[in-house]
Each structure stands twice: as structure tokens, then as C-alpha cells.
Structure 1
Amino acid sequence: MAGIGQGAAEADFRVLGDIAVQVGDRPVAVGYSRLRCVLAVLLIEANRAVSADQLIDRVWGDQRLPAHPRNAVHYSMSMLRNALADVPGVAISRQATGYQITLDSQFVDVHRFQDLVEQARGVDDVHALTMYEQAFELWRGEPCAGVDTPWFSTFRASLVERHHAARLDYNDLLLRCGRHTQLVTGLRSQVGQHPLDERLAGQYMLALYRSGRQAEALAHHQYIRGQLIEQLGTDPSPPLQELHQRILAADPALATPAGRSEAKRQQPPVPRQLPAPPRLFAGRAEELAQLTALLAGQSGTAVMLSVIRGSGGIGKTWLALRWAHEHLDRFPDGQIYLNLRGFDPTGSPMDPETAIRTILAGLGADPGAVPADLAAQTGLYRSLADGKRLLIVLDNAADADQVTPLLPGSPACTVLVTSRHRLNGLVASHGATAVDLDVLADTAAKDLLARHLGQSRLAEEPDAVSDLVRHCGGLPLALGIVAARVTGQPGFPLAALADELRDRTCRLNAFDAGDLTTNLRAVLSWSCHSLSKAARTVFRLLGLVPGPDISLSGVTCLIDLPADQARVVIRELVDAHLVQQHAPDRYRMHDLIRLYAADSGHPAKSARAALRRLADHYLHTAVAAEQLLDPPPRPQIQLSRAAAGSMPVGLSDQTQALAWFDAEHANLMAIQRLALDQGWHTQVWQLSWTLDVYHYRRGYLTDALVVWQAALTAAERVNDSVTQTLAHRRIGYACARVGRHDEALDHLQRALALTELAGDRSGQAHNHYILARAWEQQGDYQLALHHADHALSLYQSLDQPARAARVLGAAAGYHARLGQYEPAYFHAEAAFVLFRQHNDRDGEGSALTTLGQVAHSTGRHAEALEHYRQALAVFRDLGNTYYEAETLGHLGATYEAVGQLSRARATWHQALRLYRVLRHTTDAGHIQRNLRRLDAVTPENSRA
């Protein structure tokens, strides 16, 4: 244990016995017993935060609590800080999650004990003896003596078990070193304390036999046999019975310790257990390089441990074997390979005892000298591997507990583990490096198919190849199955198989090459078998989710569980690589895994209820987000109460609302299609309404058209004339914006006729306004002005000033386009005032843009620049990408007019980038023509 600073006395914190603190030879007075209990909890959790609730539970347990428990904990921390103020290198601090004592864990006897025992299991016998003896000297009595709360009692029992396990390992070590005579007395005491421990009984019998006391050894076997039958109703285990028979037969091999006889045996052959490398392999260059870099950077102080993880069929074993065979020269002492059968249809996972015996056999251990106990076997394995440059490939691991006993102690060794689970325990506790496998990119997927089928075969049907790659989703197993089916039928056209895969309802059936390992359903089922019941239920429900991904809040509504419970279940699916967490609290599934999940079956009634909860979650959140983006006086829709278990996301401002729409846009589009299929017609048009403002701010005009077409279909199915009118109007506007002028006029005329039939003057005003915008898109500003005047007159007669403002703003633009600058300025000014009064910031930005156009056209360029800059600030603040790009276009033109050509160029480049993001090719083309014209008249050396 290292000292703290030059000449400083070492601190010694004790819980293995009475709870105490000592610095050098000086005891430190900690205080009353409860305070020592608080200190003990902090020491046991050294360098980790312990919450106040945990401290209360552990220290007081079921005893009477103080009046204010948290205050008592806080007071205890102050007392401890004072008591330990003179102890160097120790600090007690308040963390976000609780209280923490920070110190070198080697100053705490319980941590020093555990470290010594762990180290002893990985070194040679001579050093191990010293380490075990140092560890046992730390025990000064019952751990945390005199403390009897439930938590301390449980901790004490666990620690006593670990002490006993270490004693058993120490006994095996003494036997291996030939020190059986001195061991007999100590073993007699131990068997008295643990009369049913068969490993201990075997050690005692062996020590007696080697000490020339065969009769006593046989008598002890009879004693423990009688105890086992009487108390447990069972005979001794096979290893103990085998030892009994060997003692009866006076087996000569028992007379000599295993360690001494080992030296006389012939050196075992070097293990070469790796299966053949994969013949057909593509991609994975980055992962191979990562593993090689880890090998190159091996420190020499720790085992290089890498965990290759990913879903079933992703190619984990192939990657491990490919890398292993490329680096055989780095492991001259051999390669061990073990299939742990963590996900195997033919049986249960291999137990650690079987696994380690298999490894010991590969390392040449004498089967007769292998101890019966797992911990002892692990010690022998680590002794045999010590100093050897071995590669150990542990394939198809079920969990970290299956792997941990199989890890060598020597830093000369390298271990590769593959698993469908994440094995975070190995990463956290053993410093493993995770190598996560994702699907193959399209180029690598085509390369893999080419290696199977030949490049010429793929060249014959390039379109079919692209379809096959897309439907396989980059999953190597799926690609291999497709290749196997094509190879099995030489005349089979690739296009026919691509057509078979195109049908989602039977796509999984196509991924079957004739046996369990090449049947995608079977391979995925092995992953599901290891899931808890709750996780399997959630997995099936996630297969029904229509969008590309889902948030944690969406999952909680889908499965009707609180967020903390939902997080636990979804983490199980992530750990099993059936679900990917691609962003914080956002999850998605591979397309083929999603198909399997949906095909796994879920009761129709509960599935429909789950999807309704999810749909209501999206709808109610979208309404709240839309109201933040465009608050009243925009009309608000009235929602029905959300389904039980469905909760909206809490959004507080426009920034959060816009970010939520950005994240969930594709899901909202998908949930609307689902609502239409399910016959939830009201939700269909309500989703269209809530997306309207977002679509036009982001410039998603085609999506706006799609959602309103769905709304019209829903309205027609239930003969809802009001919603039909609204849908025709919004479809007409969307068609006009995307250049489908004839369709726009057709829908708008239908909407106008419906409003006239119903005597709906407000609806008529809306339709005239949209007709004006449609003719604006067509470039007929005179006809646009005609409809705008109709709309303005109606809105004014209905006393709807906020809507009148929109028409005034539009009319201002039409006057400006017609060269009528005075009425244009008048209308824009009036609109701006009304927009301000009604807090319509989109309208403000549009009015400012029009004022900028008028100023530019009448030669008042400084005024135009100011208006455009103000409008730009408004649109950027609102996240209105389309109008931001449009305003940048106008601003660039004004910069050009005043001779600021470098600013004009930079501004137009900004506009071009936005139009390209929005995929507005017409507008982008206009900006590009401006830039080419500017480049043609600007000397190259003056361009900035």
C-alpha cells in the first residue's frame, strides 16, 4: 500500500472486524456507532456516490428513523469531515447523485482483501501463496462487527462467502505445492464450520490421504455422505465420489501434488483450435483496423479484451476468425476457440465449468489433476496461461457471467468475445473494448454478393442486384441466404428473387436456405428466446410501429409503462441487438428484424390499443407544438381525450416545438397513414392540420400535399363536407406551390362551391385568398389581386382583422409585382401594423420582405437592405427555412444593386444551400443563374 506524500503515515480504514480508522499507529476517533456505520457504507462504496435514501436504508434499516432522516445524513457527513480532517488523501463530497468518499481504495481493508485474492488467482503459485496470506491477515473478526441492519447483514454474509471461497482456493494451492501436512489441522476446523461443503471435504480427504491417513480420509467420506443424505436427501457429487474411489484404489497419481507431477509430463502440443477462416468476406475494413490497432497498443499490463457485438446474422464470428487468421504469427503459443452456444437452437449455453475444462484440455492439463471447483479450475487455467502469447476466441457468449471465469490473468494473452448481447459488464469491470457491428454498406454488400455469385452474374441484372441489396438491408446472413438460393438454382433469374423479396408480407419466407443456421426466422428467434417475457411483448409491439424510429416517450405510450420501466425493457432489447439506440432516447429496428417482430404475433385487440395510444401521443403533442409555432388567432382544433396511457411530450417554446417536429416528422407522416388504415378518420385530418405550419416553414410542400390528400380520403369515407372543404382548399394551395396549377384550381373551385352551398362566408374568404396565392404562383398577379380583393372585403365584413392582414400582405406583393409601388407600400404598411397587433411573426416577416421589394424597386436600397435584414432575423428565429431562403435571394439582389458584389455572392450561396436542402430545384436554379451572371462580370481576383 503506497503512502500519501513523502514521509506521510498511511491511512488504514477497517471494516473487516470493528469499524475503525487508523493513521500509522494512531487511532482516529470517528464517534458514535451510527456515524461509524455511515462511514462503513461510504468505504464499502469507495469512490462511488451513495444517495441519501440508500444511506438511510442501509444505516437505519428497519429500526426507528430520526425525525428528519435526510438532515441526519447531512449532519453525519459534517461530523465525518471533521473527524477525518487530519487524515491525508481523503475527502467526503456531495455529488449530484449522493455522497462520496474519495480515497485510494487500497487504504480500505475490504477492497485490499478483494484485490489481493483476485491477483492471487492470476499469478504463479509462489506469489499467490504470499498474496493469500496477506489477504487473510486483514480479517480481524466479523465484518462490521455489531451492526445488524438488513443491508449490513446481507453484505456481511456475502463477504464471508467470498472469504470462504478464497480459503478453498488457498487450500488447493497448498495441496498443489505439497504442503498437505500443515494443512490438515486447518482443514479439520474448516470442515467443522462447513460440514456440507463437498469441495472442502475433498480437500480434507486428499490432505489426509497424502499425509498417510487413508482410513481417516475414507471415514470422512462416510461422514459427509451421511450428512448429505440426512439433511439434503442426496448422495455426494460425482467428483467427490470419484476421489473416494481413487483413495480406495490407492491411485498413485493422488500421492504426488499435481504441480510436481506436471513437470515430469511431456510438454503438451501447442493448441491450434481456430475454425477455418471465412472463404467469402467483404467490408469490415474499419473494424479489422480497430482490432489491429488495439493489438499494437497492448500495454503489457492487462489482457487485451475485445467484445465484437451485434445482432444475429451480422457477421461477428466471421470478423473474429478473419482477424485471428490474419494475425496468427502474433500468437505463437497457440489459439483457443470455444463456441459458448449463448444463442444456439440445439441446446442451452455452455456452463462455465464445461467451458474451462475444455480450455484446460486444450492447454494440456492432466484431467485427473483438474480440481472440481470452478474457482480452482480458473486458478489452474490462469497459471497455465501465464506468460504465454495466446489468442482465446470465445464465440457466441450469452452474458458477461459466462465469460468472466474464462479470462486469463496474463497480459500476454488476447481475448476476442462475440455476442448478440452488449456485455457491458465486461466493458465496465474488465476494460473490454467494444467493437459494434452494423449492417454492410451497399458497396460492401454488392461485393459480398459478387464473391458468392461472380461479378459477371451481377453485371447481367444490375437493377435486380440493387433491389436484392436493398431488401437484405446490409445483413450479411440475408445476403448469404440469397446467394445460396441463387447458387442452388443456376438458371434462377435474380429479378424473380427480387420480386419475391419486394412483398413485405412474405419477405421473411424468402430468407431460408434449408437449415436452421441459414433460416433468418430461426436465427432471430434464438435472440428472442433469451428475452424476458416483458421484453418479448415490447419487441412484438415495436414491430408494429409504422415510423422509422421511436422516442422513449413514444415507447412509454406504446407499451403503457412508466418511463423508468420502459427504459429498463428497451435497454434489454438494445443489449440483445434487436433494437438500436441511434440517438439519446431514440430507438429503431433493422427492417428485417422489424418484419420478424411484427410477424411474431400480438393479440389484435391489445395491438390496436397500443397503436391508438401511440397515435394519440403524436397527435396531442403535435397540436401543442403547432400552437407554439403559430399561436392564436390561428383557429385551434378541439381534440378528444387521449387514450388511457397516452401522454404528450411537454414543450415550452417554439425552439422545442420545431425540434420535436424535426425529430418526429417521418413518424407523424407514418402514423397518419396508419390512422387512415385503422379508420381513425378524425385523427387523420387533425394530423394534417397540426403539420401545416411546420410544412410551410420548412418548405416541405410535397409532404403538405400528401397529408391533405389523406385527410380528403378520410373525410370522403365519412361524408364530412366541412373537412372535405378544408382538405380541397389545402390541397389546392399545396398543388399551386409545387406547380400543379390545373389541379390546384380544380380543388380550390370545389372548395369554393362547397362553401357557397353551405353559406359559409368565412370559408369563401379563405378560398378566395388561396385562389389569389394560386394565381400568384402562376404569375398572373392581376387575377391574384382580384381574388385578394374579394377575400379582403369578406374578412373585413366578418371583422377578422388577423386574416385581413394576411390578405393585405399578399395584395401588397401583387401590387409590387405589377409595378404599382404606392398601393404596394400602403398595403404592406397596413399589414405590418395588423401583424404586430396580433403577434403574427410570420406575417411580420412577409410584410417586411414586401417593403424591402418596394424600396428596392424604387431605388431606396439602404431602406431595402434594412427591411430584408429585419425579415431575415424574423424567419431565422421562427425556423422558417423557405422564407429565409427567399429573403436571402432578395437581399443578394439589393447587394448587387449597390455594388457590394462579394456580399451578394455570399448571400446567394446561403440561399442556394437552403434551397438544396429543401430540394427546391426551380428556386435553386434561379439563384445559380444569378451567381453565374455575377461571376461573368466580376474579375476572378476580386471575388471574395
Structure 2
Amino acid sequence: MSDENTGKGHMGGVSPGTHNEVSGTVMGPLIQAGTVHGGIHLHQARPEWPTPRQLPAVSHHFVGRSGALTELGRTLDDASENTSGVVAITAISGTAGIGKTALAIHWAHQIADQFPDGQLYINLKGFDTQSPVEPEQALHAFLSALGIEVGKIPLYPDAQAALFRSTLNSRRVLIVLDNARDAQHVRPLLPASPTCFTIITSRNRVDSLVAREGVHRVILNLMSHDDARALLVKRVGSDRVNSEPAAVGDVIRLCGRLPLALSIVAARVAAQPQYLIGSLAEDLLDERTRLDALDLHEEDLRIEAVFSWSLRLLTPHGSRLFELLGVAPGSDIGIYASAVLADVPRSAASVLLTELTQAHLVEEYSPHRYRLHDLLRAYAARVAGCDDELDLKPALQRLLDFYLHTSHSGDRILDPLRESIRIEENHRHTSLSLTGRQQAQSWFVVEHDNLLSAARYAAENELDERAVWLAWSLTTFLHRGGHWHDYQEIQRIALRSALRAGEKSAQAITHRNLGNALAQLKRYDDAAENHRMALALFEELGDKRGQARVHHALGFLSEKREDYATALEHGQHALTLYRAGEDQAGEARALNAMGWYQAMLGNYEATVSSCQQALVILRTLDDPTYEAHTLDSLGYAHHRMGDFEQAISCFRAAIELYRELEDQYYFAATLHHLGDAVHELGNAEEARAAWREAASVLHSIGHSEEEEVSAKLIASFMGGEGLKSSEAGE
């Protein structure tokens, strides 16, 4: 608009004839000026915004979490140094009861003074007995706290979010979005200004926030044992904790170092000064009632209720797999086994497991390996037991059959010349095919505990054939790995099942294998009794090969008792029976055993003759295990005959085979022999290196031969006194 002043009604100080022009729309007063010297700067007064201080009180019982606090601190430092305009957002995620909210509030109070324009907090109730707080509700509350009049808050969520971002622009505000359901729950509540900082807590991993918004995620893990103890001290006092150290350790272990569970225990103890911590530990011991002991009869202080809030958000298939995982035998599970358990393709199982890991109900602790926290497992098992629509029996039988078939095929790869058993087709599940010795060995290593648990489950539920076959299929792996106690346990399980089933062939095989395990544990009388029972059963069945294998085992047992003449007699019996049955592998193995016993009797030339015959057969059959045994026997004989170079060559060849086979005990035993040979040749340093490695392996498997090897190591540093060549071997 334009206005020409003629002197009529002019404002004071404005000379007549002054001409002013204004373009655009004017809101508020219009000032007409006369002569102006210098610049005029008009500023609209900034409104007086309130400064919200909404953080909840910090817990006086907060302990530990130094690693997480350090990581959170780094994210804030990075945000302070940021000059690119990127918005700083951190998400703390973890399973139910892990302490996400406590950590977020504790840290928010520590950094609050860096955000002078206020701190906003809201519990979104994404996992709660009450309905979640929807984003528009949260936005309305935040805008009100920031001074926006209720009448000026838009009705539509998108407009609310835009106003929220505008209001926060250039202001230093800390925002805590607690207990979010998922990424969609919080996305409308995120500021756009790099001057703000946002902390999100959620049981969900909020993967899409990490991918799209560049959120820095801090995954909260279980408390350390020391921090768990410190939490109990803070809540119940050091006197009570120090007075029952063993019980406190049990409570920490049985609560799985989960802060919420520990806090519930502490509340129960603190409320009853006369209540012993040991009594509560006893309540926690029984898995069936453990969850009941972690119940303070308030919804947010009942561990079962807290877990249930996560379960409600799962898909039906995800919920079903979670329940099945709670009852599956073993400490963890692989993706193939999960697919079998759920009776879905591997790709579908992967989707379901991702759903469970995103909800922090299951942890993927290594690629394609999953496990549940002990309390979550107990909760899943309880839910499964109450689910009338879930038929557990076929699911668990599928899993047992998967373990059985895969372990059987793996054993055939590890020792293809071993006696075979027949597994009926209706017990097969072929979702995983092992190819090659290395893959088979690796599979046994990761499934070791699960296979033992599967055998226990089979026996407890009178699935006797499965129990026997699982034990048989684990024999080679357990023997080579030096897992003598597990070897003994699973054979005892199998024997009980074989006896209950009345299957004499299974009884005979299991008695023999149990005898082998007991011999390795130096329980020679018990071993001999089992071998005698095995031999009687094989004779009753007319099984010549079975008899030969028992004589082979009795020879080993007699050798351990240093009765080498009797050992040689058993070796001869085994050889005769193997030859009668045209069992070439057995014949070669018997020849090697006889060669070793001949060496123990001082007949080294006979040893060389027997072992060379064995080698010819073994190399034709491709039997690396007994080829290594035979090379070790030859090496020992050459060593005793003074041919050190030939002995060392044999030992080194055997060691390489054992290394490839991952046969722990015989790898160490042959290193022991190598150390003896190179020491006598005058190479003390190489001898020590061999003995040192042998002692380390023997220690790892808990074998008593470690003492002998360690004594040689010590003696070698003291001038060689006390050194004596070993007399242990196959």
C-alpha cells in the first residue's frame, strides 16, 4: 500500500510530504518514520516458553552398567561434535526386566544440565497392562508442556508432529521416550533439530530406526555377577548379603542376573528380616515354581506378567515357536532344528526367529544359533503347558528324530568303518545333510549339549530306541574329544533304555561302550564287569564281530592295568574273530593293538611287523583314525629300537592325522611320545614345546596323563633328572 502525508493528521516528528511504501501483509503495528540515520532493526519478542523438567526421580538402587554408560556418553560426545545437522537419537533395547528404563533415567539425570531448554519424558506403555500411549496423545502432552495452548494444537497427528518439530527447532531439549512398542510408535515423536537429543527404550530392537534414521542402538545385556551382588547389597544391606554368600550366589544364578528378578527377590528379603536368603534360593531351585517365587502380586512386579506383555505382540506362529523353544531339550538351538521343531521351511523359521529376536525374547548369540534366558525359558514352558491347542509330543519327536538322524550320519562320516546300526525310515528327518569330516565335527561341537539333553529327554519319556541310537551316534565324537564323563553318562542313559526295551543287541553294544568310558576314567573293575556282560550277550546272540570288539576293548583294559600278556591274548582273540568274519577294518585294528602290546612286552620287531601289516590294510580302507594309532605304535617301537629319526617321522605323521580328526586325547598322547623321542635325540627345546602342548590339551580334557607330562617339563628345566619315556598309547 502507499500513503502520502499532506501534513494533516501526521504523527509527531514526521515532516509533511514524507512518502512511505510497504509491500506485503503487515501483522501488528506499522511504524512510519521520518528521516532515519543508520539502520533500523525490528525484533519480535521471543515468547516466554516454559522449561519442562519431566524426568522421573532417579532410583537410589541403581548400580553398575559402566559399559553401557560409557557407550551412551560417547553417543552424546559425538552429537556435540556433530556439524552436519544430523539429529542425535539413541535407543536402549533389551529383554523384559533388563533395566532399560532405570539406565535411561539415570543417564538422563546425569546429562540434564546440558539441555537447559528442558527435558521431556513419557512412558509410552508399549509393553504394559494398559493400552499404549498413541503418538498423537504423546504429542499433545509434549506440546502442552512446551507452552502451546490447547486450542492451538492441531487435530491431525501429522500436523501435531510438524508443530512439535517446529517448536523444538534450535532449542536444546532432552527427550526420553520410554517403553516404546516399536519404531512406528516413536517415529512421529522424533525432533528434527540437531540441538535436541532423544533417548528411546524398547524391548523391540527398533531395527528400522537404526536403518532409516541412523539411530545408535545400545543393547543392554545381563548384569555381571558383581553388579548383581551390589544390587542386592543396596537393597537389603551388606550384612545380610555377606552372611549367606553361597545362597546369594545361588539367587543370582537362578535369577539369571536379570535386574527385575533380583529386585523382586530383594524386596521379599527386605520385607521379612527373619527370612533367610537361602530359603528363597530353595524356592527358586524348582523350575516349575521358579516364576511363582518371583511374584510380588503387583502387575509390574510379577515376572510372569512382565514377560506376557511381550508375548501379546507376537504373531500366532511366532508365539507358537516361542512356546516350543521353551520345552525343547538343550541349552540353545540352531536354525535347522528350529525349522524342524516348528515344522516349517528353514526360510519361514528364519522369519519367526527374527521376530523373536526383535522382541528380545530370544537371543541370536552367534550366527544362526539362538537361546532363551533361563527365566524366559521357564515362562515359555509354562505357557506351552497351558496351551490346549499346542501338541508338544509330535514337535519334540520331530526334533529328536532330527538330532538322531543328523548325528548318525555325522558319525558315519567321522568313522565310516565303524559297526553300523539301522535307523527306521519313520525316525528320519533329512532337513540337514552333513558333508565332509570338518562339517560333521563342527556340527557335533555346537550340538554337543543338545544331543545329551535329547538323549535324556528320550529316556525320560520312554522313547528308548531313540535314546539308545543317540548314545551310539555320539560315541565317536565323545571318545575323540576326551569327553569321558559325558561318554559315561549317555551310555548309562542308553543302557537303562535298552534294558527297559528288552533289546539284547542294544544292551550288548551299550555295555561295551560304557566299559570303554569307564576304562578311560580309570574305573577298571566297573569297566571289566560291563565288558564281561557285553561278551556274554554277544555270545548268546552268536555275534562274532560283537565278540571281537569286546575282546579288543578287554585288551585295552588289560593294557591299562599293565597286564600286557593278557592284553595280547585278547588282541589275538579279536584278530581271529575279525578274520573269521572277513572284517578287514577289524583285522587291521586288532593287528595294531597287538603290535602295541608286543611293544609293551619289549618285542619291538614283532610290533613293527604287526603294525606294518595293519598299515597296508588301513591305507586301502582309508581309515585315518587307526592309521594314526598304528603310526604312533610304530613310532614307539622305532624309538625303543634307537631309530629316533624314523620314530619322529612316524609321530609327526600321526599328529597331523589326529589334528585333522580333532582327536584330542591321542593328539596329546602322541605329542607326548614325540617329546620323548626328540629329547633323547638331544633337542630339549623341541621336546619342551611338544610336552607343553600335550599338557595343555590333556588339562583341557581333564586327563590324568597331564601330571606325567608336566613332571617331564619341570625335570627338563632341572637338568633332566626324573625324565622317563612314556608308556601310554593305543
**TM-score of the two chains, using structure 1 as the length reference:** 0.70
* Cα RMSD for the two superposed structures: 1.9
Equivalent residues in 2 for 1:405-420 (5 A)?
Answer: 405-420=188-203
Secondary structure of the equivalent of 2:597? Answer: helix
Name the structure 1 match of 2:12: none
Choose which of 296, 304, 320 in structure 1 pairs with 2:77.
296
Give, in angstroms, the shift of residue 845 of structure 1.
0.3
Equivalent residues in 2 for 1:397-546 (5 A)?
Answer: 397-546=180-329
Choose which of 691, 707, 726 in structure 2 pairs with 1:908.
691
Choose which of 410, 414, 430 in structure 2 pairs with 1:625.
410
Name the structure 1 match of 2:672: 889
Choose which of 794, 799, 814 in structure 1 pairs with 2:577.
794
Name the structure 2 match of 1:323: 107
Q: Structure 1, residues 677-717: CA drift from partner, whole Å, max 9, x if none? A: 22211111111111111111211111111111111100111
1:551 aligns with 2:334: yes
| Partners of 1:543 and 1:598 within 8 A in 2 | yes
| Partners of 1:352 and 1:406 within 8 A in 2 | yes
Choose which of 349, 373, 385 in structure 2 pairs with 1:566.
349
Distance (whole Å) between structure 2 residues aligned to residue 370 and residue 738 of structure 1: 78
Equivalent residues in 2 for 1:206-245 (5 A)?
Answer: none
Which segment drifts farther, 771-780 or 475-484?
771-780
Change (3 A) 1:900 1:303: same
Amino acid at match of 2:280: L
Distance (whole Å) between structure 2 residues aligned to residue 648 and residue 639 of structure 1: 16
Change (3 A) 1:642 1:414: farther
1:697 aligns with 2:494: no
Name the structure 2 match of 1:120: none
Name the structure 2 match of 1:576: 359
1:863 aligns with 2:646: yes
Change (3 A) 1:642 1:274: farther
Give, in angstroms, the shift of residue 506 of structure 1.
0.7
Choose which of 95, 117, 124 in structure 2 pairs with 1:311.
95
1:276 aligns with 2:57: yes
Equivalent residues in 2 for 1:794-813 (5 A)?
Answer: 794-813=577-596
Secondary structure of the equivalent of 1:297? Answer: helix
Name the structure 2 match of 1:615: 400
> What is the total number of aligned residue pairs between the two structures?
679
Name the structure 2 match of 1:267: 48
Amino acid at match of 1:613: R
Give, in angstroms, the shift of residue 605 of structure 1.
7.2
Distance (whole Å) between structure 1 residues aligned to residue 316 and residue 595 of structure 2: 64
Name the structure 1 match of 2:716: 934
Give, in angstroms, the shift of residue 529 of structure 1.
1.0
Q: Structure 1, residues 733-785: CA drift from partner, whole Å, max 9, x if none? A: 11011111111011111112222333333322221111111122222222212
Choose which of 383, 394, 397 in structure 2 pairs with 1:600.
383
**TM-score of the two chains, using structure 2 as the length reference:** 0.90
Distance (whole Å) between structure 2 residues aligned to residue 759 and residue 610 of structure 1: 39
| Partners of 2:340 and 2:431 within 8 A in 1 | no
Give, in angstroms, the shift of residue 514 of structure 1.
2.5
Give, in angstroms, the shift of residue 528 of structure 1.
0.7
| Partners of 1:846 and 1:871 within 8 A in 2 | yes
1:285 aligns with 2:77: no
Secondary structure of the equivalent of 2:717? Answer: helix
Q: Structure 1, residues 219-259: CA drift from partner, whole Å, max 9, x if none? A: xxxxxxxxxxxxxxxxxxxxxxxxxxxxxxxxxxxxxxxxx
Choose which of 103, 112, 120 in structure 2 pairs with 1:336.
120
Q: Structure 1, residues 601-644: CA drift from partner, whole Å, max 9, x if none? A: 3448721100011111111111111111111x322221122468
Equivalent residues in 2 for 1:913-928 (5 A)?
Answer: 913-920=696-703, 922-928=704-710
Distance (whole Å) between structure 2 residues aligned to residue 330 and residue 905 of structure 1: 61
| Partners of 2:505 and 2:541 within 8 A in 1 | no
Give, in angstroms, the shift of residue 450 of structure 1.
1.2
| Partners of 1:842 and 1:874 within 8 A in 2 | yes
Change (3 A) 1:938 1:737: closer
Distance (whole Å) between structure 2 residues aligned to residue 605 and residue 323 of structure 1: 43
| Partners of 1:340 and 1:350 within 8 A in 2 | yes
Distance (whole Å) between structure 1 residues aligned to residue 565 and residue 25 of structure 2: 110
Q: Structure 1, residues 873-924: CA drift from partner, whole Å, max 9, x if none? A: 111122222211111111111121111111111222221222222232x122
Q: Structure 1, residues 94-125: CA drift from partner, whole Å, max 9, x if none? A: xxxxxxxxxxxxxxxxxxxxxxxxxxxxxxxx
Which segment drifts farther, 446-455 or 751-760?
751-760
Name the structure 2 match of 1:669: 452
Give, in angstroms, the shift of residue 460 of structure 1.
1.0
Give, in angstroms, the shift of residue 857 of structure 1.
1.1
Amino acid at match of 1:291: L
1:820 aligns with 2:573: no
Q: Structure 1, residues 563-591: CA drift from partner, whole Å, max 9, x if none? A: 12111111111111000011111111001
Distance (whole Å) between structure 2 residues aligned to residue 516 and residue 449 of structure 1: 22
Q: Structure 1, residues 830-887: CA drift from partner, whole Å, max 9, x if none? A: 1111211222110100000011101111111111110011111111122222211111
Distance (whole Å) between structure 2 residues aligned to residue 390 and residue 265 of structure 1: 17
Amino acid at match of 1:794: L
Percent identity for Structure 1 against Structure 2 = 39
Distance (whole Å) between structure 2 residues aligned to residue 937 and residue 334 of structure 1: 76
Name the structure 2 match of 1:848: 631
Name the structure 2 match of 1:39: none
Distance (whole Å) between structure 1 residues aligned to residue 622 and residue 207 of structure 2: 52
Amino acid at match of 1:367: V
Change (3 A) 1:923 1:431: same
Give, in angstroms, the shift of residue 265 of structure 1.
8.3
Give, in angstroms, the shift of residue 417 of structure 1.
0.2
| Partners of 2:512 and 2:531 within 8 A in 1 | yes
Give, in angstroms, the shift of residue 316 of structure 1.
0.2
Amino acid at match of 1:270: T
Amino acid at match of 2:211: A
Secondary structure of the equivalent of 1:327? Answer: helix
Secondary structure of the equivalent of 1:274? Answer: coil
Secondary structure of the equivalent of 2:63? Answer: coil
1:749 aligns with 2:542: no
Distance (whole Å) between structure 2 residues aligned to residue 431 and residue 863 of structure 1: 64
Amino acid at match of 1:927: V
Change (3 A) 1:269 1:390: same
Secondary structure of the equivalent of 1:278? Answer: coil
Distance (whole Å) between structure 2 residues aligned to residue 614 and residue 263 of structure 1: 73
| Partners of 2:405 and 2:427 within 8 A in 1 | no
Name the structure 2 match of 1:377: 160
Q: Structure 1, residues 461-503: CA drift from partner, whole Å, max 9, x if none? A: 1111111111000100000000011111110111111111111
Amino acid at match of 2:77: A
Distance (whole Å) between structure 2 residues aligned to residue 478 and residue 734 of structure 1: 41
Distance (whole Å) between structure 1 residues aligned to residue 663 and residue 600 of structure 2: 23
Name the structure 2 match of 1:391: 174
Name the structure 2 match of 1:77: none
| Partners of 1:620 and 1:648 within 8 A in 2 | no
Give, in angstroms, the shift of residue 263 of structure 1.
6.7
| Partners of 1:617 and 1:642 within 8 A in 2 | no
Unaligned runs of 5+ in 2: 1-23, 29-42, 722-730
Distance (whole Å) between structure 2 residues aligned to residue 649 and residue 314 of structure 1: 35
Distance (whole Å) between structure 2 residues aligned to residue 293 and residue 557 of structure 1: 43
Choose which of 347, 353, 365 in structure 1 pairs with 2:148.
365
Name the structure 1 match of 2:545: 762
Name the structure 1 match of 2:422: 638
Q: Structure 1, residues 23-68: CA drift from partner, whole Å, max 9, x if none? A: xxxxxxxxxxxxxxxxxxxxxxxxxxxxxxxxxxxxxxxxxxxxxx
Name the structure 1 match of 2:515: 732
